[in-house]
Each structure stands twice: as C-alpha cells, then as structure tokens.
Amino acid sequence: MRRTEFTGTVGRTMAETRYQYHTVDTDPKDAPNVIYILLDDMGFAQLGCYGSSIATPNIDRLAKEGLRYNNFHTTAVCSATRASLLTGANHHMAGIASLCELRTGCDNGIGHLKPEYATIAEILKEYGYATFCTGKWHLAANQGAPGPVDGWPLQKGFDRYYGFLQGENDQYHPHLVQDNTAVAQPKSVEEGYHFSEDIVDHAIDYLFEHQMNFPEQPFFLYLAFGAMHTPHHAPKEYIDRYRGKFDAGWDEVRQQWFENQKRIGIIPPEAELTEKNEYVRDWAALNEKEKAVYAREMEAFAGMLTHTDDQIGRLIAYLEESDQLDHTMIVFLSDNGASAEGGIDGRFNAMRGQDVTVRSEGEIEYAYEHLDEIGTELAFNHYPTGWANCGNTPFQWYKIWAHEGGIKDPLIIRYPKGIEQLGGVRSQYHHVSDLTPTVLEVIGVDKPEYVKGVKQKPFTGVSMQYSFNAPEAGSQKHIQYYEVHGNRGIYKDGWKAVVNHTFVEDYEKDEWELYHVEVDYSEKYNVAEKYPEKLRELQADFEYEAGKYGVYPMLRFAMHGKPENLSRMYGDRMTLPEKRVTFHKVLHAFDLVYDRNIQSQAVNHTVVARIVRETAEDEGVLYSNGQRFGGISFYVKDNRLKYVYNANKAAYYEAVSETELPVGEVTVGYRFVRDQDHATVTLFVNGKEVGQTVVEQFCYMIGFTSTVGDNRYTPVTPDYEVPFAFSGRIEELTLYQAPTTVSSREELLKLLSVE
C-alpha cells in the first residue's frame, strides 16, 4: 500500500498557493484484518472465561486461542471509553469528557471527536484498509435523523455503518441508521427481530461483499453491541435457559464466581473479595416476591449475554469458513464495569430513573405481576444493584465510579500469528487508550502526521504488543488518570488514589482513598491514613495529569446515587431559554432534532396546530415526544382531541376534549403549566378550553424520537398503534417553550396563551 500525505503549502496568497504532498511507502507486510468487539456495561466477572456461571462459549474460545488481561482499564462510562478506544487518546483530549450528550462548550466536552484525534478507521484508511462499523455509536451529540452528520461514523472514517447513534436503545425497536440515513428495521418482533442479530447480519454481509470484490484488501470492523446495556432484551428461550440458576441470590453467586476466578487463574491467588456496599441488600433478608423478581431480572441479563455470545459465534464461524479467522486480530472488551443504574430493586422500566440509593415504590409488586414480560418488548428492564456488585467481583462500586468496579474490565486479544502462548493471562497495567497504538504496532505503521488535511496530535496511549509473548515483563504503562462526573482517580506504579464523588456535591468535601494495588489486587484496603505522603504525592500527580490532559472544568454534578429523582433535580436547576419553532405546510411526518424541539418533559410549553380534516374520520398524531416507556402524545382520535402524558409507565395522564372536533379547518392546542410537584395540561379548540388533566409524576427519561405528524417505533399510549400518522393536513404547527426564568404565574400564562 502507498499513501499520499499532505505536508503543507507554499505561497502567500490563494493565487500563489501550491500544495505540497509526498508519497510514503506504507505497505505493511501481510497486514492483518482487525476487529474490535465491544460490549456495553458488562462487568469484569460476567464472562465464563472470567469466572461467571453464564455460558459464553464463543467468547471463551477467543480467550482460549488468545490472551486474557486482568489489569486492563476503561474510563467507566460509554462515550468516553469509545473515544479513547477509537482514537488512542485520553477522552478529555479527544473532546468527550463524559457522555457525548453532556456537551458543555468547553474544550473537553464538545460532544463529538476532535479532528486532530483521528479514529483508527480514519488512520487505517490512510494505509489502504476498508472500514466497517455496525452497532452502537454514541460519539456524536447530534443524533437526530435529519443530522447534522459530521460526527457520525461515515464522517469518522468508516466506509459503511449500520446501527444506532444513541447511548441506549430498545433492542426490539431500535432507531436505526444506515450510513447517513434513518431506516426501518428489516423485520418485526413477531418475525424474530433483535438488534444484536441484525448488526451481526450486516457485519457479515459487509465482510462477505468486501471479500468477494477486494480479497487482497485488509479490513477493520468495529462491532459495538447495544448489549449488555439496559434494556436486557433477549429471546425468551435464552432467558428461560437460566430459570432457577440465580435463585441462590447474589451473595452466594458472588462467592462462587470469586472462587471460580481463582480456580481458572484470572485473578491472583492472594486476591480478597471486597465487602458489598450498603445499597446491596442481604439476600437472606428478602421476601419471596423480591427474590422472584430479582432472580428473573438476572436471568434476563444472563440470557442476553448468552444470546450476544451466539451472535459473536456467528461472526467467528463466517471468518473461519471464509479462511480469514487466523489472519484477523480480534480485540474484545467492555466499555465499563457493571451498571448499578437498576437501583436497589431493579427496574421493570429503566426509563424511570437511575438512582442507586433509593427504592422505587410499587416496583416489586408491578414487576412480580408482569414477571414473564421481563426481557420482552414490553419491558425496559434492568437488574438490581446486587447483581451489578456480583458482576464486578471481586471489586467494589460500579460503572461511573473510578474504583476498580467501574474501570477494570475484561480484555481478550486473539491473534495467533503474533501470540505464542495461547490461552495465557497477562497482568500488565493498561488502559483503553493503549489498544489503537497496539494495533498500529502490530501492523507496522505509525499514526500519520496529517489525516484529512488536519495535523494530528499524538496518542496518549502506549502499545501493549510487548506483553503478547512476555508474561513476566514489567508494565510499560506507569501512570493513568481517571475522571467521570467528578469521580476521579490516578494510578502510578502499583499505587492508586481515588475519590468517590458520587454522593458529594461540594468538591472540597471529597475524601481521597489510597490503595496499594500492586499487592491489594481487589482494591480492598484503604491505606490513606497509613501512607499520607504517598497520598499527597498521587494527589499532586492527579493535578498535573488533569492539567496536561484537559480534565478541567469537571461537570458540576454527580450523575448517580442521589436520593432525589434526578430528572426533577436537573429540571429544577436548568435554565432554558424562550423558544418558538413553527412548521408550515407539513407534507408528511418528520423527526425533530434536539434544537428544534421542547427541551424537557417538565418545562412549561404550548403546542398549537392549525389542521384541516375533510371528514370526521381524519385522525392521528399531531406531535409526539417519546415511546412506550415514557413521553407525550398530542393527537386526534374518535373525533376528539386528546393528550397523554406517559410517566414512564408509572401512570398515564389523559386529557380528552369534552366535545367532538368540527370538520374543516380548526386550530387545536394544549398548554403545559408546571406548579412545583405537578403540572396542569389544558386542551384548546379554536381558543376555547375543552379538556384538562393534572400530571402528578414527571418522566425521568423518554424514548429517543420526537415527531411531527405521527408516533414512531412504539406507542406513547396504548390508545393507538404506531405510527398512527395524521390523515388530515397540518397547515401549521408551533412549539413554544417558555423561559424557565419566568417567576410570575400571570406572566407565564400570558406567554403560554394559545389564542
């Protein structure tokens, strides 16, 4: 392979400018194919080859024919890990301080990847590789179907893409994008649809067509599953395979997995099991309903993991049948530790919240009554904190935390051409930013000085190739910082300092902990009082690394674990601007990007539409925001105007017009006025009040689409089936968002007038 590289310009004016290029011989000898397989929210202990009782034979095969790492670390959260994985840089430097949606406008939180940190796909294209991506992206804050698409996979180096752009999605009704276009799922749930199967189908198709047409060209595939993130969706036969397997409870299972880890040698024999935290209940103290619900939610997780493993097996089988497997370097990992976002009781509908510390009123009763729906399209289920604690065995804490439970993850590398001791375990300390530099060293190329005309900044990661055939070699990674949502830590040469900021609002009240992880593998013994000088040294090191890699400013809130309902807490504190958006002559239903929509389900707002109905049978959705598990819908049905607020399936609040709608042109609308702990929604027809409801619970999260003219994917209300497109004409529709700074109710009502 040969690459033409841009090196600069000559000339002072545009007329005089000449572009300088030179051709580089970049032909790596017998360059391998490369595949990254990324799972989501899967803890250190949840694979069979890392000690669990969950069946993962295909992933275990990768481990048997490659290497397992037991001292590998991520960033503790989705987007940040993906940024580091693909760019080989620390996530703050790449522009993703946390979740890409939490863009701050600061240099470390721009909501997409910076061009000076090219992705591995962009780099490998410079060396002649074909590049494919299927699955979850979550590296662009702009996720709406209309774009902008500059942060999407095709703009970041991939030739083809198929998957979803958000941080999570319904595995049975995903919001699919192919290349740069929103597409419908290829078959229904009744016909056997599941997202994991779909993305592997597309991955195999892409690789097959590539091999048929360009057999000499190496490829890079990034296969990023939505699994094992909530919702834990899997075909029923997979879930039922685990019926009764977790009835012993998380206390006993965690001990079993810990013993398995020692038996198979994935953790040191001297490692100790950490104590569970106060938010994990004693299994023996639970009642029978709680045990039944908790066990079924874990069965759903296990079924989903085995189902995911089967899909990975299909990809491996294709590579083997096409004689490509042993010429392919496969890197398998998870993006962070197991998630405690299901809370103490788990959640039948995880859209209802992410609090770790509180119990949800009525949760157990509802889940018990709908036990067989867990794992199906009717649930958005997440297991309880106790199973997350089990999934991170032997460590403490979870996803989002900078403790080992949040950042220490499985890593498997299969590359028989470069690895002599197959099935081995490696214990060198490493970080997710080290993987892309490793791949380039294996291939035998460097990161280009320029990519797409943009001068590149160097990797912050280091190559791990030295460890492939040197199990006793000392780690070449000596220091690494961590920071997500104020939780932060730093590792240096066998020591680690860490802060649990999750339950603290004032950074000055944070308490640093110190662990000698070289001898305390599980991070069990806090020795801060014993070694105060070492702690001060590491604190100073953190400040230096934080300054060097752009950690500041940090986000000013803790994301998880607050006793308050987080959506209410953030809603109360957000300052939202006044906004008025009008759509004229709506030809057909269309999705809204974030900036063209109402920005919160609990903000004061008005929606007004001028519609034309030829007959009384003309009906359908005028405006919807969300899906089955939470949101709002404003629609016409049975010749009446209707509004529904779906409070994450906890309650449905419905307003219906008292009189039938007139045929012909009519102006309809609703007004949402919040008053502390409730909101009043009033319906209007031609300026006259015709119906009302009081919303007593607010949504925590909603689905991923807002639409004018229909309701896509799944219905906000069981009152209709999707898409329920409006069959009349929408001549004009206006969304008005009142500024949150308005304090006078009289002024607010005047602003929200629909007349």
**Confidence at 202, pLDDT banded by 50, 70, 90:** very high
Cβ distance 178 to 163 under 8 Å? no
pLDDT(64) > 60: yes
**Confidence at 147, pLDDT banded by 50, 70, 90:** confident
d(CA 475, CA 583): 59
- For the chain, counts of helices (H) and of strands (E): 15, 32
pLDDT(4) > 90: no
How much is the pLDDT for 7?
Answer: 43
**Confidence at 569, pLDDT banded by 50, 70, 90:** very low
Tell me the residue ranges of DSSP E strands in 507-629: 512-515, 579-586, 590-591, 605-613, 620-627
| Both tokens assigned to 437 | 């530099």
Pick among 3.40.50.150, 3.40.1190.10, 3.30.1120.10, 3.20.20.100: CATH of 480-564: 3.30.1120.10
| Both tokens assigned to 722 | 């999707």
Cβ distance 240 to 400 under 8 Å? no
How much is the pLDDT for 574?
Answer: 64
For helices 435-443 and 78-87, what crossing angle results, to 10°?
20
How much is the pLDDT for 488?
Answer: 96
Q: In the predicted model, what is the mean pLDDT of the chain?
A: 93
How much is the pLDDT for 744?
Answer: 87
How much is the pLDDT for 11?
Answer: 39
CATH 2.60.120.200 spans which residues of the chain? 568-751
d(CA 305, CA 410): 14
How much is the pLDDT for 556?
Answer: 64
Q: Strand, helix or coil at 614?
A: coil
CATH 3.30.1120.10 spans which residues of the chain? 480-564
pLDDT digits 0-9 by tens, 222-279: 999 999 999 999 999 999 999 999 999 999 999 999 999 999 999 999 999 999 999 9
Nearest to 202 by CA among 179, 181, 218: 179
Query: Strand 219-224 relative to strand 130-136: parallel, antiparallel, unpaired?
Result: parallel
Cβ distance 723 to 717 under 8 Å? no
d(CA 198, CA 163): 9
**Confidence at 568, pLDDT banded by 50, 70, 90:** very low
The strand pairing partners of 581, in sequence order, are: 735
Tell me the residue ranges of DSSP E strands in 348-500: 411-414, 424-426, 430-431, 450-451, 454-455, 479-484, 487-492, 495-499
Compute CA 548 distance to the chain's CA centroid, rounded to the nearest angstrom.
27
pLDDT digits 0-9 by tens, 682-707: 999 999 999 999 999 999 889 889 99
How much is the pLDDT for 9?
Answer: 41
pLDDT digits 0-9 by tens, 485-504: 999 999 999 999 999 999 88
pLDDT digits 0-9 by tens, 323-378: 999 999 999 999 999 999 999 999 999 999 888 988 888 999 999 999 999 999 99
pLDDT(559) > 80: no
For 568-751, which CATH class?
Answer: mainly beta
Tell me the residue ranges of DSSP E strands in 99-225: 130-136, 160-164, 177-178, 181-182, 219-224
Query: Strand 450-451 relative to strand 454-455: parallel, antiparallel, unpaired?
Result: antiparallel
| Both tokens assigned to 147 | 């774009």
Q: What percent of the chain has pLDDT over 70?
A: 94
Q: For 2-97+118-128+238-467, CATH number? A: 3.40.720.10
d(CA 718, CA 435): 47
How much is the pLDDT for 27?
Answer: 56
The strand pairing partners of 683, in sequence order, are: 670, 691
User: Which residues are within 8 A (CB) of 452 and not within 5 positions of it... i.e. 6 or more apart?
Assistant: 115, 118, 122
**Confidence at 5, pLDDT banded by 50, 70, 90:** very low
How much is the pLDDT for 310?
Answer: 98
| Both tokens assigned to 539 | 């604190």
**Confidence at 300, pLDDT banded by 50, 70, 90:** very high
Phi, psi torsion values for 653, nearest 5 degrees: -110, 120
Q: What is the distance between the terminal CA atoms of the chain, rounded to a whole angstrom?
A: 68
User: Which residues are within 8 A (CB) of 696 and not within 5 positions of it... i.e. 6 or more apart?
Assistant: 647, 651, 653, 677, 678
d(CA 288, CA 371): 13
pLDDT digits 0-9 by tens, 707-716: 999 999 999 9
CATH 3.40.720.10 spans which residues of the chain? 2-97+118-128+238-467
DSSP H helices, 131-194, are none
What is the 8-class DSSP label of residue 41?
S
Nearest to 483 by CA among 550, 544, 430, 551: 551
How much is the pLDDT for 754?
Answer: 78
How much is the pLDDT for 28?
Answer: 56
pLDDT(479) > 80: yes
- CA 468, 474, 476, 482 dihedral sign is positive
pLDDT(722) > 60: yes
